[in-house]
Structure 1
């Protein structure tokens, strides 16, 4: 049993006076239904827990724009193609709730379900067609990942029924896929993309950063340093030249292994072959620091 985290088997129908943690969808649906009856606007921040300042920035944005905010904390097994990554993913619910209490004591609800509560005994991802977005970048390297993402996001939206949902741009491809999911299934929720929250070193904040050994944590800021340089070079060089430069820079790094660096159209996510003046592009990168996989991206124009 978690000490300090109140997992509710019953629910209060009055105003939430602290950060309550709901483990069953029927519990939280009843509470949220009461809020809807009072015409409260509802924001949602879907997470897998191990919260950091980047997550809290999303929650703060959601609180600015909604009356109540649901933070879901669920390590979703169907979006992991690597069993070791799933097993090693940090689970820190008590600490997460403490952090959320520091943001707001009376406007946040936590939905921290079990696998059974979400999947009801059928631990299987649905198959989704995202008009090709799923085959680019992460889709090339993580088999079935976006089917798992779509499955859990769709189910969370069905349970919570938020007015607005907030996602960080660190997972930019995921953000675009969630927007496509909402469009295709006509889900009445506004998807809000939020800026990447970075460490002072420039490293994009991630729950995986906590697992980095000291020497890899010190080396990892090279990722963002390289992205910012690539953005500068993109102004005068071709996408192919910039990509080759990045690949050569990582060959000099002993502790960091480049999985991919791709410059892509922000709408289609297709790899850029020739620049067009009326289109926007981003650079996307995935890097291994020891056995920890880190991703990042940057707007180029």
Structure 2
């Protein structure tokens, strides 16, 4: 039941069942602890997580690799880098998931240099490892290093995934490099990436920020599935750059498609009014 509740997003019920299990004297095992920690992560309860960690130590399950990987994720996600580091350092056996979780956690906590040292020490890497480090550089406005690592990734014959490309498109926006952005777009097409809501929205955002609205419009038209973020990216970009009428027209089409707007949508539309006011003052 704990596993089922955790997997389906009922983290508080999972924790209640765990508490009931302990009160009734049923001992947890190595399969129980990881799902309880995941429930703690989903509910943001680091205090409960530390309690579970303590019981795992007492019952001899704290060395389980899967449990430690999950525990690291909890500590780093809740901002407790000290505990996250201790868990990693005490692990006798690690796999690529352990190191990747550690790297991603250090990135979240802002220690990019330590993350890179851990990355360089990895005996083997997978696409998630490479992407975690690339994401770290993009997150910290270091786009040149993100691309340097990407070229190394390709040389190592490790194929990027959609999340890798989305991060690189953000780096292109940071650099203001339309040329690199088009290269990433071409790479995605040639390697069979679908123009889904995630990648498509990132392309629209990149093209808009790099000043190529024709390309942004083309991507938008080609996308079969558009999320709210997709519509917002296009409407906001049009509004910010003075295409007010087109932004309002797109907003009307969004309503016709039964997509419910949010605050970002309305901000994008209001840019048109701001632009009109500015032009009248001028």
TM-score by length of 1: 0.26
Q: Which has the higher contact order (CA 8 A, sep 6+)?
A: 1
Structure 2 length as normaliser, TM-score? 0.27
Asked which structure has the greater CA Rg, the reply is: 2
Bigger fraction of residues in strand: 1
